[in-house]
Structure 1
Amino acid sequence: MTTIHRRFALAAGLATVLALAGCGKQETAAPAAASAPPAPSAARVLVVGTDAAYTPFESQNEKGEIVGFDIDIVNAVAKKAGIEVKFVNTPWEGIFNTLDQGDRDFLVSAITITPERRQTMDFSQPYFDARQLIAVRSDASVTRFEDLKTLKVGVQNGTTGDEVVGKLLGKSSANIKRFESTPLALKELEAGGVQAVVADNGVVAHYLANNAGAGFKTVSDAGFATEQYGLAVKKGNAELLARLDKGLAEIKADGSYDRIYASHFGAASK
C-alpha cells in the first residue's frame, strides 16, 4: 500500500471511530422502571385468650359464642383502638403460657393484677375492682375468713381465691379442694362436698342471683384486699399496651364503660 493510500485508510478509519464515539455519547441508559408500591396488607386480627367458664365475665352461650362483661369491654376497647380481635377459649391453667409463647396477643379473663404476675407480663390500666367473697350454706356459722381454718374449702385452681385460702390453710392442705371453675366449686358446695367456697365477688354474686334455691349466703371479710382486673399483654409489648390503655380511657370517658357495667351488674360502676 502506498503512503497516500495509507493516509487515506487511516483518515477513513479515524472518521469511523469518531462517528462511533459520537453515537456513544448521545446514547443514555434507559431509566429503570419505578417499582410499584407494595399492596397494603390487611390489619392482623389479634387473638385474645379467655377462659370462658367464669360467668358473668366470660362464658359460652347456647350457640357456643363467647360472651360476658370482659368480652363486651374488649370489643368496645378494640373499636376505640382501631384493632380487630378474635376470642379463643383457653383453659385457665395454661392461659399465661399461651401469652408467653405468642399464641395469644393479649388476655382478658378476670385476671387480677398482682406483683408476681407483673414480673412475667404487662398489664393495662385496671378496668374492674373486685374482692374475694365467701359462699357458705345459709345455716353455716361462718362470719369471717378465719372461721374457714377447720373447714373444707373449694376454690378455682390458680386464682387469687386459691392463693388466699392457701395462705390460711396451708398450700398443700387436704382441706383445700381445687376445681377448674368457680361454678363447679359452688356446685360442690351445694352437694355438700365442701363447706365453703372463696372466689371473686362478681362470680359468686352472679351464681347466687341465678341459683336462688341453692341455699347459700355470702360472707365478706374486711381483711380481703381490693383486687383489680387488667388486660394482660406479653412483657415488653408497649405498643399494644398503649393502644389498649387509650381504648380503656376513651370508653370510660364517653360513658360506654358504665353502660356495659350496668348491663351485667345492674348498677353503675363505682
Structure 2
Amino acid sequence: MQKRTLLASVALAALLAACGKTEPAASTAPAAAPAPAPAAVVKLVVGLDDNFPPMGFRDEKNELVGFDIDMAREAAKRAGLEVEFKPIDWSAKEAELSGKRVDALWNGLTITEERKQNIAFTAPYMENHQIIVVPANSEIKTKADLAGKVVGAQEGSSAVDAIKKEEAVFNSFKELKTFGDNVAALMDLTTGRLEAVVVDEVVGRYYVAKKPELYAVLDENFGTEEYGVGLRKEDTELLAKIDGAMNAMKQDGTAAKIAQQWFGKDIIK
C-alpha cells in the first residue's frame, strides 16, 4: 500500500511539473527595429524685397539674384537647409515673419533696438550708411541744405527711422515722401519730383555707379548701421545654425569672395 501510494505521488509530481512548465517562445531573437523614416527636408523660407539691388533683385531673366541671395544660399547649404526665396511687402516684413509666412528676413535688414523687441538677429555681417543722393547738378551739399526740400525714402526702411532721429533736420523738410521701393524713389529724383533721396549706401552707390552723370552722393549721411538676418525669437536652433554657417563663411573667406563679386571689395563685418 505504501509502495502504491509512493508511486502515485511520484506520478502526480511529474504531471504537475509537466503542466507548470513554460514553453519557450517561438523565437527568442529581438524583433527587428523598423527602418527609420527619411528625414524631412527642412526648408528655410527667406522673405525679401525683390527690388533692392544689389542685395536682392530680379535680373533680365526674372531670376532672383544679389549679394544677400548668394549669402543665404551658401549659409543654408552649410546648415543643411533647403532655401526658398519669397518676395514680400517689405513694409510688412515683421508681420510676415511673426505670421510664419517666412522664416527669415534676409535683405539688408538693419539691426535696431526697436526691431530687437520683436525679432532675433544673427551677428552683424556688414556695415551700412544711410546716404543722401541728389541730382548731379543739385545745389544741395549738406544736410542743412535739405531745409524746405522734398525728400524721398523707402516706406518701412531704416532710412525713415534714421531721418526721424535727427528731428531738427527732419522738421526742416518741406515733405518726406515714402515709396514702395528705392527704385521708384530714385526715378522720382531723376524726374525732379524729389530733390533728394535717403537710401542704404549699398543700394545708392550701386545706382550712382551705373549712372554717375545723373546722381551725386553727399559727404554727410544719416548714420552708420549694421545688417543682420532677422528670425522669430523662438527659433533659437535655426538662429544658431545660420549664425554658425555665416561665421564659418567669414572665417574661410567665402563671404569676402561673395562681397568682392558684388561690390568689388570685402565689406563683410
TM-score by length of 1: 0.85
The aligned counterpart of 1:25 is: 21
Instruction: Give SS of 1:269's match.
Output: coil
Distance 2:235 2:60 in 1: 35
The aligned counterpart of 1:158 is: 156
The one-character-per-residue Cα deviations of 1:37-92 (angstroms, maximum 9, x if unpaired) are 43132321211111111000000123322110001111222233232211111120
CA RMSD of aligned residues (A): 2.6
The aligned counterpart of 1:249 is: 247
Distance 1:18 1:208 in 2: 104
The residue type paired with residue 183 of structure 1 is V
Contact 1:156 1:162 in 2 (8 A): yes
The one-character-per-residue Cα deviations of 1:193-250 (angstroms, maximum 9, x if unpaired) are 111100111101111222344x22111316x321110011101322111111111111
The aligned counterpart of 1:169 is: 170
**Residue 129 (1) aligns with residue 130 (2):** no
Deviation at 1:267, TM superposition (A): 2.0
The residue type paired with residue 190 of structure 1 is T
Instruction: Give SS of 2:220's match.
Output: coil
Contact 2:91 2:157 in 1 (8 A): no
The one-character-per-residue Cα deviations of 1:18-40 (angstroms, maximum 9, x if unpaired) are 74772452225556844414313
The one-character-per-residue Cα deviations of 1:126-181 (angstroms, maximum 9, x if unpaired) are 111100111111222222223223100111001111123334435xx871111011
**Residue 217 (1) aligns with residue 213 (2):** no
Q: Which moved more, 1:179-188 or 1:224-233?
A: 224-233
Contact 1:132 1:220 in 2 (8 A): no
Contact 2:149 2:174 in 1 (8 A): no
Deviation at 1:188, TM superposition (A): 0.3
Distance 2:62 2:20 in 1: 75
Instruction: Give SS of 1:129's match.
Output: strand
Deviation at 1:264, TM superposition (A): 0.7
Instruction: Give SS of 1:268's match.
Output: coil
The residue type paired with residue 202 of structure 2 is G
The residue type paired with residue 26 of structure 1 is T
Calculate percent identity across the aligned residue pairs. 35
Q: Which runs of 5+ in 2 are unaligned?
A: 1-7
Contact 1:59 1:67 in 2 (8 A): yes
Contact 1:183 1:207 in 2 (8 A): no
Distance 2:144 2:136 in 1: 18
Contact 2:147 2:174 in 1 (8 A): no
The residue type paired with residue 169 of structure 1 is F
Structure 1 segment 1-270 matched on structure 2, within 5 A: 19=15, 22-28=18-24, 33-166=31-164, 167=167, 168-170=169-171, 175-213=175-213, 215-221=214-220, 224-269=222-267
Over 3 Å counting, the alpha-carbon distance change for 1:205 and 1:131 in structure 2 is: same
Instruction: Give SS of 2:47's match.
Output: strand
The aligned counterpart of 2:5 is: none
Q: Tell me the matched-pair count.
A: 257
TM-score by length of 2: 0.86
